[in-house]
A and B are shown apart, each in its own frame.
Chain A
Amino acid sequence: MASLDRVKVLVLGDSGVGKSSLVHLLCQNQVLGNPSWTVGCSVDVRVHDYKEGTPEEKTYYIELWDVGGSVGSASSVKSTRTVFYNSVNGIILVHDLTNKKSSQNLYRWSLEVLNRDSMPTGVLVMNGDYDQEKFADNQIPLLVIGTKLDQIHETKRHEVLTRTAFLAEDFNAEEINLDCTNPRYLAAGSSNAVKLSRFFDKIPGFPDRKRLLGGTFKNLHYD
């Protein structure tokens, strides 16, 4: 495979929500047996067929950068994390369906990435209301994934799913709710798999769209 562009997608979320399990599931199609605490950033690669089935089909490597840590980390950790946020093509926001705080922290996470240029020290003041304009301006495709669906009791499911639907609307993003220990949620042909490939298709559409990202855009062609 000669000319494959570089596509970088960040996977963000609080510690313990299941980002590492999710990335492992997306890239290896297997369940992660022994999840352990992510220090720094762990990367994995998913092979994605852009516009599958059409004559314009192209195969891309999508790099999933799983950045560890919490929003309340020390500012030195936040400054170090900023180095991973360069030239990002897409963001997957992961939250734990059983933990409301992790959903609320997603606003802070997304602001941390989107504001990385204006706030180099990474210190953010969160005043409760998120800034809708920031998200309207944003050109980077977002996807919201809720994990640990199996741990939500049947009776509470409706209420939780309504809440997450609002969350996804705020981010102007699609949402997927699943259980990372069960591969059938992302089985080929399921609605989740369709949403996922739609999201991944949005990103490499870049040769067609104009991108207004600050920061460097590394266009590496392996010809």
Chain B
Amino acid sequence: MSFLIDSSIMITSQICFFGFGWLFFMRQLFKDYEVRQYVVQVIFSVTFAFSCTMFELIIFEILGVLNSSSRYFHWKMNLCVILLILVFMIPFYIGYFFVSNIRLLHKQRLPFSCLLWLTFMYFFWKLGDPFPILSPKHGILSIEQLISRVGVIGVTLMALLSGFGAVNCPYTYMSYFLRNVTDTDILALERRLLQTMDMIISKKKRMAMARRTMFQKGEVHNKPSGFWGMIKSVTASAPGSENLTLIQQEVDALEELSRQLFLETVDLYATKERIEYSKTFKGKYFNFLGYFFSIYCVWKIFMATINIVFDRVGKTDPVTRGIEITVNYLGIQFDVKFWSQHISFILVGIIIVTSIRGLLITLTKFFYAISSSKSSNVIVLLLAQIMGMYFVSSVLLIRMSMPLEYRTIITEVLGELQFNFYHRWFDVIFLVSALSSILFLYLAHKQAPEKHVAP
């Protein structure tokens, strides 16, 4: 009986998450496009719903809600469904939509997408070989095998995003790094852009007129037709067409220049807006946060280095350690069990909410930047894949932040994964990502002011 109640609670919450994912898809991601393939929207919402349910189960674990056996059952089921989607469904559909975009292969979509899927599975399997992820006594298609590989990809993604985010956040928040942009700079650049456009236009006018006169005189067109035409074009090429190719090359160079100028102007406008924003109250608040985050970022990099160098993987979670410190050093006595439950709930809850929110915002920005009406389906599915893998590996890593008694369910369900490996891997990739982001931002920052010095 209690199992039925628990299941109905779980299913209701899953439907809620599904609805939220659906709305997010429609209102945020696809607000400028038309949804023609509802499959994509369904897959995205389902991935989101099952990922959020996993987090919900962790919270239930900490709070002790629901029967523990029904929790275990739902964990297993959830995990199976998510793995099914991440490993089988989404890659297949990505291949299918990708192939549908290519005109040549339009007729044989299905066999080609199956081929792509098989290639993906092969590389996915090979991924597990170099890593000491799990003991070899498990079968081929067990949950542990699949989760271990999904975990590797997801943890890499998480660490890359964290590393870049940790460095980029203070860089964008702090106004110390803002380049000084005046209105005259922008006007000068706009003038250059319009001058370039005018030059392109005058050259194109010459080309159009030359082509018209050639056409009226009935001269040979650009493309020589037939055998005799080719011979003629080799021996005596009309001076008109030679001129045309020369002008065309100049036009190509000018068009490239106009694109560069356009992008630079966009950049200047964006910087100007940021400068104005930093003068407001909100901007000042974010500036202060930026200093705080930069200290946090430096500390994290330091800790990651220490972890790697001294081969240290934390045994206790921050909550228990915090409580230990307060009890031992500060002498404050309080009910450890009661407080540890509530504090770990709050801590884990904050981690979950901020990571979901951060991921959705990053995905939306990314989607706006690179999608077009042709590729929007493929990109959304890729984002759903990334989201699913990210959430699965969050579950792996969050185990570290929870006290021992709550870790059991994750350990039970996920089997004998080498969790320590994942933490070490996270630290390594985080360090690499943070350091290379620092290098990259430094180079980009250095290069930018020089561009505007040239007349």
Contacts and interface: CB of A to CB of B under 8 A. Distances in A.
B32 A14 contact: yes
Interface string A59-102: 00101010000111011110110011000000000001001111
B208 A74 contact: no
B203 to A, nearest CB: 9
Given A72-B368, A80-B269, A43 B204 contact: yes
B200 A43 contact: yes
B124 interface: no
Interface in A92-123: 96, 99-102, 105
A14 B255 contact: no
A41 interface: yes
Nearest to A39: B259
Given A1-B209, A105-B32, A96 B270 contact: no
A67 B373 CA distance: 17
A40 B190 contact: no
Contacts of B32: 14, 70-72, 101, 105
A47 B209 contact: yes
B311 interface: no
Given A61-B208, A100-B34, A41 B262 contact: yes
A149 to B, nearest CB: 17
B106 interface: no
A99 B372 CA distance: 13
B34 A45 contact: no
A177 B368 CA distance: 29
B205 interface: yes
Interface string B331-372: 000000000000000000000000000000000000010001
Contacts of B208: 27, 45-47, 61
B273 A43 contact: no
A183 B270 CA distance: 41
A58 to B, nearest CB: 14
Contacts of A141: none
Interface in B188-205: 190, 193-194, 197, 200-201, 204-205
Nearest to A17: B373
Interface string B371-395: 0111000000000000000000000
B36 to A, nearest CB: 8
Interface of A: 1, 14-17, 27, 37, 39-47, 61, 63, 65, 70-72, 74-77, 79-80, 83-84, 96, 99-102, 105
Sorted nearest first, the 3 A-B pairs with minimum C-beta distance are: A40-B262, A16-B373, A76-B269
9 contacts: A37-B372, A42-B255, A45-B207, A47-B212, A63-B201, A74-B266, A76-B267, A80-B266, A101-B34
